[in-house]
């Protein structure tokens, strides 16, 4: 099964810059069987448990997180880049390779104690997911897990999230960057 999913992901060397292998999930999303299996696998540990919300990180986390929320009969919460959400927000800065950026959530998107799972396509250095977890914790949410299709274990992101006390689950792993 993980071999099927791996084969459904397109790897593009030297994009967006030399030395990076871009793991393109658009081919997986466009393959009906692979997309369904991915969502089924992401949902599997949580079926029968109470999950109030699924949070997805802009933009690919919206596609996967929306499907996971639907399957779990949970609400969906978008975590967006600065300036995109219309209502009052909470925000957090995080480091990118060059400089820093900010991500935001609506201040009323999660209430204290709500059980939420975070969904994104890839965990690399973990900087993005770390900021998302901290943002949700700011609102008092119970972050039950962080779930990804792909882990790049050599970059150490999973350990970073586990250090925040949040279990991490990824469906497949690729070596290197
Ligand atoms: P990071 O904060 O380093 O864990 O990076 C995570 C974000 O960057 C994810 O939302 C991914 O969409 C994107 N990303 C990082 N590395 C790759 C890669 N090799 N291929 C595709 N997307 C990537």
Residue 3 lies in a domain: no
pLDDT of residue 23: 97
Which atom of ligand 1 is least distant from the CA of 157?
4
Does 60 fall in a domain? yes
Domain contains 54:
yes
With respect to residue 44, please indicate whether it lies within any of the assigned structural domains.
no
- Any domain includes 16: no
Residue 3 has pLDDT above 90, yes or no: no
pTM of the model: 0.96
- CA-CA-CA-CA torsion for 60, 64, 65, 67, nearest 10 degrees? 140
Determine the structural domain holding residue 112 and report its residue range.
Answer: 50-173
Q: Which residues are known catalytic residues?
A: 60, 97
Tell me if 142 sits within 8 A of 113, measured CB to CB. yes
Asked whether residue 127 is domain-assigned, the answer is: yes
Work out the pLDDT band at 1, boundaries 50, 70, 90: low
In a domain, 7, yes or no: no
Q: What is the rounded (10 degree) CA torsion for 125, 35, 33, 30?
A: -100
Mutational pocket test of ligand 1: of 55, 93, 122, the residue with most ligand atoms within 8 Å of the beta carbon: 122
User: Which protein residue's CA is at the shortest distance from atom 11 of ligand 1?
Assistant: 122
The pLDDT tens digits for 68-114 are 999 999 999 999 999 999 999 999 999 887 789 999 999 999 999 99
Cis status of the peptide bond prior to 16, with omega within 30 of 0: yes
141 CA to centre of ligand 1 in angstroms: 24
Is 2 a residue whose pLDDT tops 80?
no
| pLDDT computed for residue 54 by the predictor | 98
Task: For residue 84, give both structure tokens.
Answer: 């995109």
Number of compact structural domains in the chain:
1
- Return the CATH number at 116: 3.40.50.2020
| Residue 69 covered by a domain | yes
What pLDDT, in 10s, does the model give residues 98-157?
A: 789 999 999 999 999 999 999 999 999 999 999 999 999 999 999 999 999 999 999 999
Ligand 1 atom with minimal separation from the 120 CA? 10
Task: Tell me what the mean pLDDT of segment 29-42 comes to.
Answer: 98
């Amino acid at each position: 099964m993980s071999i099927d999913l791996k084969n459904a992901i397109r790897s593009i060397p030297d994009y967006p810059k030399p030395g990076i292998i871009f793991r393109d999930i658009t081919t997986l999303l466009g393959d009906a069987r692979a997309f369904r299996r991915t969502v089924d696998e992401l949902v599997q540990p949580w079926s029968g448990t109470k999950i109030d919300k699924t949070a997805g990180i802009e933009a690919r986390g919206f596609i996967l997180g929306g499907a996971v929320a639907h399957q779990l009969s949970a609400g969906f919460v978008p975590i967006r880049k600065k300036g995109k959400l219309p209502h009052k927000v909470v925000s957090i800065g995080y480091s990118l390779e060059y400089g820093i950026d900010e991500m935001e959530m609506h201040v009323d998107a999660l209430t204290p104690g709500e059980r939420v799972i975070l969904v994104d396509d890839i965990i690399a250095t973990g900087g993005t997911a770390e900021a998302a977890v901290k943002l949700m914790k700011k609102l008092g949410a119970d972050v039950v897990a962080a779930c990804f299709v792909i882990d790049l274990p050599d970059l150490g992101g999973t350990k970073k999230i586990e250090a925040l006390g949040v279990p991490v689950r990824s469906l497949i792993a690729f070596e290197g960057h």
